[in-house]
Structure 1
């Protein structure tokens, strides 16, 4: 049996009594003090996440921009250094290779941050289509990635840096942030996967443990908590942030997932999957991702069948009892004809059909 991969921060988990699980071949903490507790800590205060399992791929060279314009659905033509975009790589049939964030480091230099389970697939997909004057390198083993999220994230992080963090706006970043007692500079981006304010920090592997400890110490007075995968999932789910393998996949397009804002079919350059995605945009996709709120008792789980009058109309992509709203809710990919707000459907939970209604998303919005 293959040994699980560990991030350089694995040794720190024990100090906080982490319960670790196998997550796509990685030994990662599912929780430290409990999923609900960590969820509320992030929503109301501040939490620290080790997300070093994520992948980082560097794309640089004279033709880096035209190459990425072909590979990615969003428009990079107006992107400038120290700014980022959420985007997709798609197959010719419109299915999703991956969702990712692209950071422009310099005029001809981009960092792609991809999902952990997709690192090799994404890297090979990029290599398969590479332009001559482009260099692509998988840098995933060189970075630690930490996320500090929550209303007090800036307050805590500001204690250990002279960089004015309030100057970094949403989806912007600084590449030259130094933290107290750490010689190596970090890239700090105002991005996240929780629906809260906060930052994602990229720094070399050797500095990871020191930075983790420094942030924990800086947040002690406000009760900072380390946060596991369980709360990361409930937080992103409430904010309607897609999870690859659930809301997005090789058979689910970004348009079906309701993410057309990051699919720029009007950009001048062609991109892989454009024809199908343009058709879905213009005509409307046959299926649509919707929010469901349970009327009857029961929690909709990933993969459960959704029906209307005994007819199968789709399936649950994600579902849980929302810690913030204290309701049983789900996301479902269903036939567009049944996707209007207020429509009633049923979810097959084991041997029972349980009633639910279509509701607006996101379920939770900050402020």
Structure 2
């Protein structure tokens, strides 16, 4: 009988620090990641009312530079990369050629012909191969720097004020999506006023070997360590999509409320992306019973879609969900979600569910 070999989980540079903070670790996208420390609700509330810090070092970082860097990114992505200047960042998509997404990404413009792209951890190898394939014929250099960087997301209404006394230059004057080099506790970092929680805050890029000391100093300031559990409830309240749930290789991204990411320009996969989606992503509110990914959504006895993400919202005090619904049925206001053979009323609601 042959033994099944299992690939060991990858560890971020902060793995030992999570152990010291009492984290409960879980497998996530091939990584050993903290799902919670003190508890999901406490971590969620810390980010909504104060400041929390997430380890998102599992994300991938690719550097794109060279004479054709802009031309290449315009071809590879749907958003208009020409519209943002050095020192700025924006959200973007990597479309495939069949009307879905290879990944959803963030791009940071470092200089005129130099960009940093952050990709989802579970898609890193796939994204790298895709970009390498598309780069043929362009005067562009791609470098995978994922192992060099740690990434800490300090989020919440007090995040910037907590960091400011220990940061240079002045981070309080910076705008949303600003991206710039600086120092935090004297350590060289890259600051980005971006995040995935619906709150203000900074994502801090730091060299991997310096991450643990920086993390410890953030916790010493009273910033709450927060895990994947709170990250998911926070992003869902804010209506942010998650790749593998709201987006995939086979889900048309224009079914979502992020249609603004697809600009009117020539790019890879444009023909299929321009086809009308057959589904629409909507928000649902329920009274008591939380729902999960894959649960059927109904009108009467007819299944018209399924839940892509669901949780019991700590901020709002009731269950919420995103659901992909057949386009012909998506404009209705009343639905039902089937949970273990029983239908529970659900009302269509605006997304985002919560605005910080």
TM range (shorter): over 0.9
Q: Deviations over 1:225-275 (max 9, x none)?
A: 1000000000000000110000111111221122111110x23xx112222
SS in 2 for 1:333: strand
Matched residues in 2 for 1:348 and 1:197: separation? Answer: 36
Q: Deviations over 1:181-214 (max 9, x none)?
A: 43xx211000000000000011111111121122
Match of 2:173 in 1: 167
Report the TM-score, using the length of structure 2 for normalisation.
Answer: 0.96
Residue aligning to 2:282: 290
Deviation per CA, 1:114-150: give whole Å up to 9, x if none.
Answer: 0000000000000011134111111100001000000
1:260 is matched with 259
Q: Tell me, in whole angstroms, the C-alpha distance in 2 between the residues paired with 1:298 and 1:79.
A: 43
What is aligned with 1:37? 42
Shift of 1:333: 0.4
| SS class of match (2:150) | strand
Root mean square deviation, CA, Å? 1.2
C-alpha change, 1:181 and 1:76, in structure 2 (3 Å) is closer
Q: What's the counterpart of residue 241 of structure 2?
A: 242
Local SS of the residue matching 2:257: coil
Return 270-279 or 36-45, whichever deviates more.
270-279
Normalised to the residue count of structure 1, the TM-score between the two structures is 0.93
Structure 1 alignment gaps of length 5 or more: none
Aligned to 1:179: 184
Q: Deviations over 1:269-326 (max 9, x none)?
A: x11222233343xxxx32100001114x421100111111211211100001000000
CA contact (8 A) 2:159 2:200 kept: yes
- Aligned equivalents of 1:338, 1:294: Cα separation in 2: 18
Alpha-carbon contact 1:307-1:348 (below 8 Å) kept: yes
Q: Secondary structure at the match of 1:126?
A: helix
Structure 1 partner of 2:117: 112
> Residue in 2 aligned with 1:92?
97
Report the counterpart of residue 275 of structure 1 in structure 2: 271
Between the aligned partners of 1:365 and 1:179, the Cα distance in structure 2 is 29
Task: Return the offset for 1:162.
Answer: 2.8
Q: SS where residue 254 of structure 2 aligns? A: coil
C-alpha distance in structure 1 between counterparts of 2:281 and 2:47, whole Å: 26
Aligned equivalents of 2:184, 2:178: Cα separation in 1 = 19
Could you say which residue in structure 1 is the equivalent of 2:345?
A: 355
The gaps in structure 2 that reach 5 residues or longer are 1-5
The answer for the alignment partner of 1:188 in structure 2 is: 191
Say how many residue pairs are matched: 350
Deviation at 1:178, TM superposition (A): 1.2
Structure-2 separation of matches of 1:82 and 1:336: 39
